[in-house]
Chains A and B, each alone.
Chain A
Amino acid sequence: MRRMTRQFVFALAAIFVACGALWAQKQFKLPRPFREYPGYEYNDFPVPDDFQEKHEWTRARLRYPSFRNVHGYFADGYNRWTVDYPRSDRHLLEGVRRLTRIDTKSVEQVVDLDGDDDVYNWPFMYAVEVGYWNLPDDQIAQLREYLLRGGFFMCDDFHGTIEWENFTRVMQKVFPDRPIVDLDNKDPIFHVIYDLDRRFQVPGMQYVVYPPHRLYEYDGFVARWEGIYDDKGRVMVAICHNMDLGDAWENSDDPRYPEKFASLAYRIAMNYFVYDLTH
Chain B
Amino acid sequence: MFELFFKYPASVFSKGTFVFAGGWPVWLLVLAIAAAAVALAFFVRTNTRAAARIKGARSVAVWLLQTLLAAVLLLMLWHPALSVATLRPQQNIVAVVVDDSSSMAVDDAGSGSRKNAAVNLLKGGLVKQLQDKFQVRLYKLSDHLDRLEAYDKGGLDKLTAAGTATHIGDSLKQVLADAASLPIGAVVLLSDGADNSGGIDLETISEVRRQRIPVHTIGFGREKMAHDVELTGVETPARALPDSRLSATVAFHQHGYAGQKANILIKDGGKVLASREVTFKADGVEQTENILYNAGPAGVRAIDVSIDPRPGEENPRNNKIAKLVNVDQRTARVLYMEGEPRWEFKFLRRAVEDDKSIHLATILRTTQNKIYVQDDHADAPKSIKDGFPTRVEDLFEFDGLILGSVDAPYFTTTQQQMIKDFVDRRGGGLLFLGGRDALGDGGYKQSVLNDVLPVKLPDHKNTFVRDPANVELTAQGRDSLITRIEEDPQKNVERWKTLPYLMNFQDAGQPKPGAVVLADALPTSVGRLPLLTIENYGRGRTAVFATAGSWRWQMLQPVADRSHEIFYSQLLRWLVNDTPKRMTLSTPKQMLNDEASVKLRAEVRDKAYLPAADATVEAHIVGDGVTETVSMRPDALDAGVYTAEWMIPKAGSYVVEATAHRGTEDLGRDVMTFRRDDGVAENFHVEQNRELLEKLSQETGGKYYKPEDANKLGKDINYSEAGITVRETRDLWDMPVVFLLLLLLRSGEWLLRRKWGVI
What is the interface of chain A, defined by CB distance below 8 A to chain B? 24, 28-30, 54-57, 99-103, 117, 120-121, 123, 145, 148-151, 192-193, 232, 273-274, 276-279
Among A30, A57, A117, A151, which residue has its beta carbon within 8 angstroms of that of B342? A57
CB-based contact A101/B341 at 8 Å: yes
Once A101-B365, A278-B349 are accepted as A-B contacts, the answer to whether A30 and B340 lie under 8 Å apart by CB is: no
Within 8 Å CB of B366, what residues of A? 100-101, 192-193, 274
Does B364 sit at the interface, judged by CB under 8 A?
yes
Bound-state Cα–Cα, A148 to B557, Å: 11
Bound-state Cα–Cα, A148 to B556, Å: 12
Within 8 Å CB of B341, what residues of A? 57, 100-102, 273-274, 277-278
Does B468 sit at the interface, judged by CB under 8 A?
yes
| Contact mask for chain B residues 499-525; partner A; CB cutoff 8 A; 1 contact, 0 none | 011010000000000000000000010
Bound-state Cα–Cα, A149 to B559, Å: 5
Bound-state Cα–Cα, A55 to B524, Å: 18
Does B339 sit at the interface, judged by CB under 8 A?
yes
Bound-state Cα–Cα, A102 to B345, Å: 12
CB-based contact A29/B500 at 8 Å: yes
Once A120-B556, A151-B555, A232-B353 are accepted as A-B contacts, the answer to whether A193 and B367 lie under 8 Å apart by CB is: yes
Once A102-B341, A193-B372 are accepted as A-B contacts, the answer to whether A150 and B554 lie under 8 Å apart by CB is: yes
Among B345, B554, B555, which residue has its beta carbon within 8 angstroms of that of A278? B345
Q: Which residue of B lies closest to A53 (CB)?
A: B466
Bound-state Cα–Cα, A149 to B563, Å: 12
**Most chain A Cβ neighbours within 10 Å, of B365, B503, B555:** B555
Does B396 sit at the interface, judged by CB under 8 A?
no
Among A55, A145, A192, which residue has its beta carbon within 8 angstroms of that of B372? A192
Ordered by A's residue number, 30 sampled pairs between the chains whose C-beta atoms are within 8 Å are A24-B524, A28-B524, A29-B500, A30-B468, A55-B466, A56-B548, A57-B342, A57-B343, A100-B341, A100-B366, A101-B340, A101-B368, A102-B341, A120-B552, A123-B343, A123-B346, A148-B559, A149-B554, A149-B557, A149-B558, A150-B346, A150-B347, A192-B366, A193-B372, A276-B346, A277-B342, A278-B345, A278-B346, A278-B364, A278-B372
Once A30-B468, A193-B367 are accepted as A-B contacts, the answer to whether A103 and B349 lie under 8 Å apart by CB is: no
Within 8 Å CB of B581, what residues of A? none
Once A274-B341, A278-B346 are accepted as A-B contacts, the answer to whether A149 and B468 lie under 8 Å apart by CB is: no
Q: Which residue of A lies closest to B435 (CB)?
A: A56
Interface size on B, residues (CB 8 A): 37
CB-based contact A28/B501 at 8 Å: yes
Nearest-neighbour CB distance to chain A for B108, whole angstroms, equals: 64
Within 8 Å CB of B288, what residues of A? none
Nearest-neighbour CB distance to chain B for A277, whole angstroms, equals: 4
Bound-state Cα–Cα, A99 to B368, Å: 8
Once A28-B468, A101-B341 are accepted as A-B contacts, the answer to whether A279 and B346 lie under 8 Å apart by CB is: yes
Nearest-neighbour CB distance to chain B for A279, whole angstroms, equals: 7
Bound-state Cα–Cα, A24 to B556, Å: 17
Bound-state Cα–Cα, A145 to B559, Å: 7
What is the interface of chain B, defined by CB distance below 8 A to chain A? 339-343, 345-347, 349-350, 353, 362, 364-368, 370, 372, 374, 436, 466-468, 500-501, 503, 524, 548, 551-552, 554-559
CB-based contact B342/A56 at 8 Å: yes
Among B342, B370, B466, B555, which residue has its beta carbon within 8 angstroms of that of A149? B555
Within 8 Å CB of A120, what residues of B? 552, 555-556
Bound-state Cα–Cα, A103 to B504, Å: 14
Q: Which residue of B lies closest to A191 (CB)?
A: B372
Bound-state Cα–Cα, A150 to B558, Å: 11
Closest 10 CB pairs of A and B: A54-B466, A277-B341, A101-B340, A120-B555, A148-B559, A277-B346, A102-B341, A56-B342, A120-B556, A274-B341
CB-based contact A117/B559 at 8 Å: no
Within 8 Å CB of A149, what residues of B? 554-555, 557-559
Bound-state Cα–Cα, A276 to B346, Å: 7
Bound-state Cα–Cα, A134 to B501, Å: 33
Bound-state Cα–Cα, A54 to B462, Å: 13
Bound-state Cα–Cα, A57 to B558, Å: 22
Within 8 Å CB of A145, what residues of B? 558-559
Nearest-neighbour CB distance to chain A for B703, whole angstroms, equals: 73
Bound-state Cα–Cα, A100 to B341, Å: 8
Bound-state Cα–Cα, A57 to B524, Å: 21
Once A100-B367, A150-B346 are accepted as A-B contacts, the answer to whether A278 and B374 lie under 8 Å apart by CB is: yes
CB-based contact B342/A150 at 8 Å: no
Nearest-neighbour CB distance to chain A for B409, whole angstroms, equals: 15
Nearest-neighbour CB distance to chain B for A102, whole angstroms, equals: 5
Within 8 Å CB of B368, what residues of A? 101
Bound-state Cα–Cα, A28 to B467, Å: 11
Q: Which residue of A lies closest to B370 (CB)?
A: A193
Nearest-neighbour CB distance to chain B for A118, whole angstroms, equals: 10
Bound-state Cα–Cα, A278 to B350, Å: 9
CB-based contact A101/B367 at 8 Å: yes
CB-based contact B500/A274 at 8 Å: no
Bound-state Cα–Cα, A18 to B555, Å: 27
Bound-state Cα–Cα, A136 to B233, Å: 61
Nearest-neighbour CB distance to chain A for B132, whole angstroms, equals: 88
**Most chain B Cβ neighbours within 10 Å, of A103, A117, A120:** A103
CB-based contact B342/A102 at 8 Å: yes
Within 8 Å CB of B350, what residues of A? 150
Bound-state Cα–Cα, A24 to B524, Å: 10
CB-based contact B556/A29 at 8 Å: yes
Q: Which residue of A lies closest to B556 (CB)?
A: A120
CB-based contact A277/B552 at 8 Å: no
Nearest-neighbour CB distance to chain B for A223, whole angstroms, equals: 25
Bound-state Cα–Cα, A270 to B364, Å: 14
Nearest-neighbour CB distance to chain B for A148, whole angstroms, equals: 5
Q: A54-B467, A101-B365 are in contact. List 12 more A-B contacts (CB 8 A).
A: A56-B548, A101-B340, A101-B367, A102-B340, A121-B556, A149-B554, A150-B346, A192-B366, A274-B372, A278-B345, A278-B349, A278-B374
Within 8 Å CB of A276, what residues of B? 346
Nearest-neighbour CB distance to chain B for A274, whole angstroms, equals: 5
Nearest-neighbour CB distance to chain B for A60, whole angstroms, equals: 12
CB-based contact B342/A103 at 8 Å: yes
Within 8 Å CB of B559, what residues of A? 145, 148-149
Q: Which residue of B lies closest to A194 (CB)?
A: B370
Q: Which residue of B lies closest to A232 (CB)?
A: B353
Q: Which residue of A lies closest to B467 (CB)?
A: A54
Nearest-neighbour CB distance to chain B for A86, whole angstroms, equals: 22
Nearest-neighbour CB distance to chain A for B657, whole angstroms, equals: 37
Bound-state Cα–Cα, A232 to B365, Å: 24
Within 8 Å CB of A55, what residues of B? 466
Within 8 Å CB of A273, what residues of B? 341
Within 8 Å CB of A54, what residues of B? 466-467
Nearest-neighbour CB distance to chain A for B417, whole angstroms, equals: 26
CB-based contact B374/A123 at 8 Å: no
Bound-state Cα–Cα, A30 to B504, Å: 12
Among B340, B367, B374, which residue has its beta carbon within 8 angstroms of that of A99? B367
**Most chain B Cβ neighbours within 10 Å, of A30, A101, A145, A279:** A101
CB-based contact A121/B548 at 8 Å: no
Bound-state Cα–Cα, A192 to B365, Å: 11
Within 8 Å CB of A57, what residues of B? 341-343
CB-based contact A121/B552 at 8 Å: yes
Bound-state Cα–Cα, A118 to B340, Å: 24
Within 8 Å CB of B365, what residues of A? 101
Bound-state Cα–Cα, A77 to B524, Å: 43
Bound-state Cα–Cα, A273 to B362, Å: 17
**Most chain B Cβ neighbours within 10 Å, of A57, A150, A273:** A150
Bound-state Cα–Cα, A25 to B598, Å: 63
Within 8 Å CB of B362, what residues of A? 278
CB-based contact A56/B370 at 8 Å: no
**Most chain A Cβ neighbours within 10 Å, of B366, B552, B554:** B366
Q: Which residue of A lies closest to B555 (CB)?
A: A120
Bound-state Cα–Cα, A145 to B557, Å: 10
Within 8 Å CB of A192, what residues of B? 366, 372
Nearest-neighbour CB distance to chain B for A237, whole angstroms, equals: 16
Q: Which residue of A lies closest to B341 (CB)?
A: A277
Within 8 Å CB of A56, what residues of B? 340, 342-343, 436, 466, 548
